[in-house]
Every structure is written in C-alpha cells, then in structure tokens.
C-alpha cells in the first residue's frame, strides 16, 4: 500500500465514485435525519483498496431506510439478530449494505466508541465532500499506526479485528495499543464462536499469513482461542526438519500463501481450476480458501501429544495426523464452524500425510486414484497442504530430489482428481454385481476402482469394454443369451 496516496481531502471523491454509495445516498436523500457511511470502507477508500460492503449509521427509521436502499440497489432486506438491531441487505456474490441506528447520539459520539482510530471516520451521505475524522484516523493510517479509539476490552472480538486491520492496511499497534492487546488477550476466551470464524477468516483473506499468525501468538490471543496450537510453540523436531513445529507451521503458511497467489506457477494447467475450486463455499460464510489456511495453521497440533523421544535421542511423532484430527474437531467447534466445514477441516488435517504414504508404498495409478476418490471434494486442499508442508521440511535427512518427486506426485494426483470430475465412471456398483461374482461389500468398491484405473490408463473406453475387463467371459455370456433368445 502506497501511503503517499492517502489524502483525506480526496475521500469524498473516492467514496462518491462508488456506485453502491451513490445508489444508497440517492435512496436516503428523502429521509429525515442524517445518515453516514462509517466502518472499513472509509480507510479502504483512503488507501485506494477494493471496497467491501457499506456500513451506514442512520438517525432515522432503520426499516424504512432499508426498504429504500433495497429498492435502489436490488438488494434484499433481511433482519439480522445482532446487538443494536442491525439490518443487512445482501445478495449472493454482491457487496452488501448494513445499517445501524444512531439513536440520536450524534456522529462524533458514535465514532468515539469505535474500535480503532482508522475505523473512527465517517462521510455524510448528504455532504460527502469532507471527511469526519475526530480521532485522527487518517493520520494514523498514513503513518502506519494502529491505535485504539476506545478500550479494547469493550468487545473481545476487537482482538481479532486488530489482526485484520494490521494485515489489510499494513499498520502496526503503537506501544500503548500493543500493551492493551496483550493485557486483554484472555478475553478472547469470551468471543462467541461465530465471531471467532468471522474474525479469523477476515485475517486469512489478507496477505502476510505467517506474520498474522505470529501477531496472534505474540498478543496471546491464539493460545487462548486454541490451546492445542499454543502447545506446539516450543516443540522441537527431528532431523527431517530444519525448524521447530511452530516455525515450521509459519513456513507452511507462507508456502500456502504463495500457492494461493500464484496457482499457475505451482500447478501449471490446473492452476486456474484450483483457484476457482478454492473460491467455492464449504458452507455458508466458509470458503475453501480460508478453510485451507486454517488447516495449515493447525495441521501439526497433534505433534505435541504424540511426541516421543527414543533412547538414541531421535524425536518421533507417530500418528500425529490422527491426534491432530481429533484436536481439529474441537478447534472447528470453537471457531463456530458447522458440520460440513468441521468435517472438511478434520479430514484435511488427518490426510495431510497421504502423499508421503503414497510415495512410501510405491506410486501407482491405483494408489493415486484411490486417494483422489476417497478424498473427494477436499482432495485439492489435501494436495496443497501436503506440498506446502513438505516444502517446509528441509532438514539434514531431506533432499532436493525427494522434494521434486513429491512435487511430481502432487501434480499427477491433482490431474487425476480433475480427471475424475471431467470423466464419469463407465459402470456402477449394480453393473459389477450383475456381471461378476462380487456381492455387496468391499469387493464392489475394489472392482469399480480397477475399472476406473483401466479407464484412466485408456485400457477401456466404453461400458462394454469396462464390463469385459472385469469379467473376461462377459462378451461370451452376452452372445449365448442372444442365441438362446433366437432359439425360443
């Protein structure tokens, strides 16, 4: 972010050039009372960053204001059960508008209760030419300073908001605010689960993932939210690693961030498809991208409880992925994730060693396809975390040749997974049971896998060829049935 571009005098121009602002301002023009744009969109406009939704403080009938804006913008009004009676107007895939009541207290008093000074600025919808900035938020933004505007402890969720503002605007807490964040860190235990994910996902959407994780650790927030993460801070590792568990986690996060930023460089022809896959939601408000970052943050939490030291001094973490999966379930619940997102997070953590096991057992098309089919929708996330994890493992026992083998496997497995999406199976379980001796059970699954491998390797290309592949006398049986029919 170029701080030289931050000019409070140009805020009105930046805000009014926003079509959503223009429509909202036009809609509220006939309302009695004053309305102001507040919140993150003001520093975003100042910093010339992409705008998010609009937050409008209204000194008028909130429901009527929402109805007017809904008609002007096409957004559907939906009452959201939050403190203060916030009304949100949303439509999938579009920027939304939220309205909060001013309750007649005046804009400067309202801003005085804001979290941080960069969030304590406003623009009058009726007169957007000047910036309302009673606490010097614009100067702090230009100076790279994150400064508390009111007590951080007034709302524990501000501990996470600080992390997002720091990452989004490249601002660091001043000494007093940093001290207050650390002093209030225990309050993080009182953040409602749904607000935990909202805060974390907001941080994960910004750059500097490793730096943000370090910030949450240094303020004490991370270990309060997730004690299992705090338990790995001081855990050492063996000679396969060049870093302890926590620093290894930070490097894994940095690798994930690079993959997200440059998918084509990492995954060649599949890069854009990977990016599109990660933009999708696992469940409401939980995108695959942010869930992958969360998995990278917690992927090694199982190493603290599984750590053993042999008489030779060798450190081992046998079964840490299974231990980690159990801990990830609790982490998911603390973060307010629903069942689908919890299941996805647990699976990615449990399976992040899957590629290593494939190499150890001897890579085959069967092994790769089995993994692709068993992992299902979260296969790309497992591949990315596995590769990022392996790239962050550069101890004395690691070699560049082994890393290149791992990269090649990751690329082939990703190709196999997309192939399973592009080319449906030629036969199903009913076909197997009708035309082979297999009965219900694992045998059917193995037969279907064998048919998929043959299809992937171009040994078969039609349903008939697939059935004949599984039951070599299938064609003869068909001929015999045909002759019997003629005789009758």
Question: What are the DSSP calls for 177-234, one per residue?
Answer: HHHHHHHTGGGGGGS-HHHHHHHHHHHHTSS-HHHHHHHHHHTTHHHHH-HHHHTTTT
Contact 283, 293 (CB under 8 A): no
Distance CA 172, CA 167 (A): 9
pLDDT at 488: 38
From the list 146, 371, 413, 151, the residue with the least C-alpha distance to 267 is: 413
Q: What is the pLDDT of residue 84?
A: 55
Closest CA to 388 of 200, 234, 225, 261: 261
* Alpha carbon distance 93, 78 (integer Å): 16
pLDDT score at 315: 94
What is residue 476's predicted lDDT score, i.e. its pLDDT? 43
Q: HSE on the CB side for 356, CA within 13 Å?
A: 15
Strand partners for 76 = 90
Residue ranges of domains in the chain: 3-150, 152-223, 226-422, 429-487
Q: If we measure between CA atoms, which residue out of 239, 211, 214 comes closest to residue 229? A: 214
Fold that domain 3-150 belongs to in CATH: Beta Polymerase; domain 2 (3.30.460)
DSSP secondary structure, 335-388, as one string: TT--HHHHHHHHHHHHHTTHHHHHHHH---HHHHHHHHHHHGGGHHHHHHHHHH
> Edge-to-edge strand order for the sheet containing 54-58?
76-79, 87-90, 97-101, 54-58, 35-38, 122-124, 127-132
Q: Which has the closest alpha carbon to 359: 368, 350, 351? A: 368
pLDDT computed for residue 486 by the predictor: 40
pLDDT at 15: 79
- pLDDT in the model for residue 482: 39
Fold of 226-422: Hypothetical protein af1432 (1.10.3210)
Measured from the Cβ of residue 126, the count of other Cβ atoms closer than 10 Å reads: 12
Q: Which of 88, 2, 78 is nearest to 46 (CA)?
A: 2
Q: Which ranges of the chain have pLDDT less than 70?
A: 1-12, 30-33, 77-84, 438, 473-488
Count, residues in the chain: 488
Return the CATH number of the domain spanning residue range 152-223.
1.10.110
Query: Which helix (H) or strand (E) segment is 97 a member of?
Result: strand 97-101
Whole-angstrom distance between the N-terminal and C-terminal Cα of the chain? 84
175, containing H or E segment? helix 175-183
Compute the distance between CA of residue 461 and CA of residue 104 in angstroms, rounded to an integer. Answer: 72
**What pLDDT is recorded for position 367?**
97
pTM of the model: 0.91
**Which pLDDT does position 25 carry in this prediction?**
87
pLDDT of 402 reads 94
Q: What is the rounded CA–CA span in Å between residue 185 and residue 153?
A: 9
Nearest to 367 by CA among 425, 409, 424: 409
Tell me, what's the pLDDT at 484?
A: 36
Spatial distance between the Cα atoms of 340 and 251, rounded to a whole number of angstroms: 27
**Would you state the structure tokens that stand for residue 196, as one six-digit string?**
């935990």
CA–CA gap between residue 338 and residue 285 (Å, rounded)? 10
DSSP type of residue 330: H
């Amino acid at each position: 972010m170029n701080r030289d571009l931050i000019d409070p005098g140009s805020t009105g121009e930046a805000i009014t050039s926003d079509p959503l602002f223009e429509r909202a301002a036009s809609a509220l023009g006939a309302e009695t009372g004053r309305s102001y744009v507040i919140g993150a969109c003001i520093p975003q406009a100042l910093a010339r960053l992409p705008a998010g939704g609009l937050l409008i403080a209204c000194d008028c009938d909130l429901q009527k204001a929402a109805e007017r804006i809904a008609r002007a913008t096409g957004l559907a009004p939906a009452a959201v059960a939050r403190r203060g009676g916030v009304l949100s107007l949303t439509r999938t895939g579009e920027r939304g508008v939220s309205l909060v009541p001013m309750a007649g207290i005046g804009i400067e008093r309202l801003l005085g209760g804001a979290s941080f000074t960069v969030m304590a600025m406003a623009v009058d919808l009726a007169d957007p030419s000047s910036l309302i900035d009673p606490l010097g938020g614009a100067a702090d933004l230009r100076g790279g300073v994150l400064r508390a505007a009111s007590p951080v402890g007034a709302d524990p969720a501000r501990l996470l908001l600080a992390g997002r503002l720091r990452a989004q605007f490249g601002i660091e807490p001043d000494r007093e605010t940093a001290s207050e964040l650390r002093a209030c860190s225990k309050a993080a235990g009182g953040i409602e689960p749904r607000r935990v994910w909202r805060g974390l996902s907001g941080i994960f959407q910004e750059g500097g993932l490793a730096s943000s994780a370090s910030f949450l650790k240094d303020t004490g927030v991370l270990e309060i939210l997730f004690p299992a993460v705090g338990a790995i801070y001081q855990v050492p590792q063996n000679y396969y690693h060049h870093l302890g568990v926590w620093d290894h986690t930070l490097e894994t996060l940095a690798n994930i961030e690079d993959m997200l930023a440059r998918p084509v460089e990492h995954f060649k022809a599949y890069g854009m498809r990977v990016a599109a896959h990660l933009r999708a939601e696992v469940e409401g408000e939980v995108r695959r991208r942010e869930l992958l970052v969360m998995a990278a943050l917690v992927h090694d939490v199982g190493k603290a409880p599984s750590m053993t030291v042999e008489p030779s001094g060798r450190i081992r973490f046998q079964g840490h992925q299974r231990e980690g999966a159990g801990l990830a379930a609790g982490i998911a619940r603390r973060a307010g994730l629903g069942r689908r997102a919890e299941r996805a997070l647990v699976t990615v953590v449990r399976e992040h060693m899957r590629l290593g096991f494939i190499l150890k057992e001897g890579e085959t098309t069967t092994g790769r396809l089995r993994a692709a089919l068993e992992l299902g929708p979260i296969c790309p996330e497992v591949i990315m975390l596995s590769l990022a994890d392996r790239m962050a493992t550069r101890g004395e026992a690691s070699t560049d040749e082994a890393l290149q083998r791992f990269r090649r496997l990751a690329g082939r497995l990703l190709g196999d997974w997309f192939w399973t999406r592009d080319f449906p199976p030629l036969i199903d379980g009913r076909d197997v049971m009708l035309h082979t001796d297999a009965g219900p059970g694992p045998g059917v699954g193995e037969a279907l896998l064998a048919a998929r491998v043959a299809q992937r390797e171009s040994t078969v290309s039609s349903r008939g060829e697939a059935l004949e592949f599984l039951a070599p006398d299938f064609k003869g049986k068909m001929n015999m049935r045909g002759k019997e029919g003629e005789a009758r």
